[in-house]
């Protein structure tokens, strides 16, 4: 009993909630993907996606800004609807998936932006380089029950990065430096 009282007292003094109001949500890989768009030859956009996205969301129901996201993308799941381009993107000139098979994101801060929108900032690791990136987030949606009695939520997030910031510089001039990213995910409560 003394240990519990001490923990509550320390939490109150340090400003740490004694009992978290959070829940754990697993990103559902079957209902999640990461899309990207990049300029090609300066005249058109080429789109692609990564079809294997996994991760966990620690969702604080009382204060969304205390939530956190940890996500991983399998870089070998790249799909641009062109086998030769996909092989090139996996090569050492671009993603170098043999050496860097995953891209990861770990949130460090979430802030409210109004109108139900959030900004999520965190560390994105791509091609062995970690940079701070901010995503504009719509969601998470309200929880619903699916036909299998699971609680589900959804969210979408967008960001722009420069591929050169992550050491991906092959074909500069042919392939644009600015990459638009859109994530669409469903989450299942654990």
pLDDT tens for residues 59-106?
Answer: 998 999 999 999 999 999 999 999 999 999 999 989 999 999 999 999
- Do residues 159 and 121 lie in contact, with contact meaning Cβ atoms separated by under 8 Å? no
Q: Look up the domain containing 71 and give its range.
A: 22-189
Whether 10 is in a domain gets the answer no
Domain with residue 149: its CATH number is: 2.40.128.110
* Stated pTM of the model: 0.84
Whether 98 is in a domain gets the answer yes
Which residues have CB under 8 Å from 174's CB, separation 6+?
40, 41
Question: Can you tell me the distance from the alpha carbon of 138 to that of 59, in angstroms, rounded to the nearest whole number?
Answer: 15
Given a cut of 70, is residue 8 above it in pLDDT?
no
Please count the structural domains in the chain: 1
């Amino acid at each position: 009993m003394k240990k519990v009282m001490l923990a509550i007292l320390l939490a109150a003094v340090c400003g740490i909630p004694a009992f978290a109001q959070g829940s754990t949500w697993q990103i559902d890989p079957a209902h999640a993907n990461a899309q990207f768009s990049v300029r090609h030859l300066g005249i058109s956009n080429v789109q692609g996606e990564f079809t294997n996205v996994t991760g966990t969301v620690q969702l604080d129901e009382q204060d969304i800004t205390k939530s956190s996201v940890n996500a991983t993308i399998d870089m070998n799941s790249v799909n641009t609807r062109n086998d030769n381009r996909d092989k090139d993107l996996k090569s050492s000139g671009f993603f170098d998936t043999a050496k860097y098979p995953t891209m990861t994101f770990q949130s460090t801060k979430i802030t409210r932006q109004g109108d139900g929108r959030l900004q999520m900032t965190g560390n994105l690791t791509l091609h062995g380089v970690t940079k701070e990136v901010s995503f504009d987030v719509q969601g998470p949606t309200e929880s619903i029950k699916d036909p299998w009695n699971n609680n589900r939520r959804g969210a979408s997030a967008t960001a722009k990065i420069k591929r050169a910031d992550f050491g991906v510089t092959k074909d500069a001039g042919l392939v644009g430096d600015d990459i638009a990213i859109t994530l669409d995910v469903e989450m299942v409560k654990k």
